[in-house]
Chains A and B, each alone.
Chain A
Amino acid sequence: MLKNAWKPLSLILILYTIWAGMIWETPRLPILNETIRNLYFHVPMWFGMIIILLVACIYSIMYLNTKNIKYDIYSNQMTNVGILFGILGLVTGMIWAKYTWGEMWSGDAKQKGSAWGLFIYFVYLILRYSVSDPTDRAKFSSVYNILAYLALVPLLFIFPRMQDSLHPGNGGNPGFNSYDLDSRMRMIFYPAVIGWTLLGVWLATLRARLDLVREK
């Protein structure tokens, strides 16, 4: 029973963060105003994506070491969920940018980097479609997945910091840590990160188990 307790826990945490994120008081800041609540919905997507794609990368390494097809299926489904989170993160970020930067897409370094990072993972999907033999597909996509993760990290975290960017935490702008002086926002933000990540893992394991059944 307790082994599966994290599954309902993820739902409880997400419902709590949606309720508290909409209702609870936030710091009153110029320009940001109420859009600061996007912290509870946009940032957990990227945190969840990075964690889940890291898990997918580790599964790929485990596949190459053991040649057990199970790890490849898990790696593939983790990557699918990571791509979903990335798209959601990009969309929520664009909605936020509409109200703070004035335009949905202003060609910011962070926007360009994350769009290109997603493109790398779309190519991963194309590679998987183009190979039909399951063992070969597992081998090539595992190698490519490791390459993709190592290309994604500089695109998201190194290049936006070196160029001019309006994104909080980049280009000399303060990150969210300086906004929540009374750490009230952290009470919602960290549960949101944990909740969304657990939900993503749940989704991925469900689909991977379905694939494993199909394989037999």
Chain B
Amino acid sequence: MTINLLKSKSKQFYFIFVLLKKEFALDNKKKQNWSVALLYLFGSIFTIYLLVGQNKNNLSIPLWNSILWVILFFSAMQILANTFSKEPKNRDFYYSQITNAESIIFAKLIYNFIQVSILFVAGYFIFAFMLGNQVQNLPLFILSLVLGSASYVSTLTLVSAIAYKANSNNGIMAILGLPIVLPTTLEISQLSKNAIDGLDISVSYDEISIICSLIAISISLAFLLFPFLWKD
């Protein structure tokens, strides 16, 4: 009995590993997913650079912060909307035969987290390069970017599953996801505002703990609700 349990557990970990490898292979093969997200990020930042200009004083700190987060949110949306629709057609049934829904959502969450945090850090550096860097506490700001990507991914992966199953157009994804992530966006922008002002990390413990608990809630919800969506 225990041996069987151990065997199945290790099998599950093995499947998660295989699924993660598959995600990397898929994006390596079809590069349009990544390039579209990066180009979207670059294009929107470049538009703002043309509209505002590089002078640091043109943007006040709250405006700088909020424009950055709006751009990052929509580029995350761009990449997360394809979480399930990038798979080759009619693979769902095959995946549900060889593995369970929990492994699939776990692999998707990890892969999306890696993807979006790289995208966010890259987005910050492009933004700071074009519009002037106003951040004084850089480690805390990077932490806020990573926490932001974790909270967006944990909520929007489930939402993209709903959008993918509902109908495969991406328009509904933005409208479903935007209101749900608002509570986290408010907290995240407060945290990154603290980092821009150069405050010590001890000031922001409240925000960090709230964001972490919101992430925990949304990850557990994703694990609870995704199996209902996945199996027909």
Contacts and interface: CB of A to CB of B under 8 A. Distances in A.
Contacts of A140: 162, 165-166, 229
A116 B180 CA distance: 10
A168 B165 CA distance: 43
A150 B224 CA distance: 14
A178 interface: no
Interface in B208-232: 214, 217, 221, 225, 228-229
Contacts of B167: 130-131
Interface string B165-180: 1110000100110011
A165 to B, nearest CB: 14
B183 interface: yes
A148 B225 CA distance: 13
A136 B165 contact: yes
Given A130-B167, A136-B166, A155-B183, A144 B176 contact: yes
Contacts of A212: none
A172 interface: no
Contact of A123 (B158, B176, B186, B229): B176
Given A139-B228, A139-B229, A143-B228, A150 B217 contact: yes
Interface in B135-189: 155, 158-159, 162, 165-167, 172, 175-176, 179-180, 182-183, 186
Nearest to B165: A140
B187 to A, nearest CB: 8
B163 to A, nearest CB: 9
Interface residues of B, number: 21
Interface string A131-147: 10000100110111011
A148 B180 contact: yes
A148 B155 CA distance: 11
Contact of B166 (A123, A127, A146): A127
21 contacts: A116-B179, A120-B179, A120-B180, A127-B162, A127-B166, A130-B167, A136-B165, A136-B166, A139-B228, A140-B165, A140-B166, A143-B158, A143-B225, A143-B228, A147-B159, A147-B180, A148-B180, A151-B183, A154-B183, A154-B214, A159-B186
Given A126-B175, A131-B166, A139-B228, 7 more contacts: A123-B179, A130-B166, A130-B167, A143-B158, A148-B180, A150-B221, A151-B182
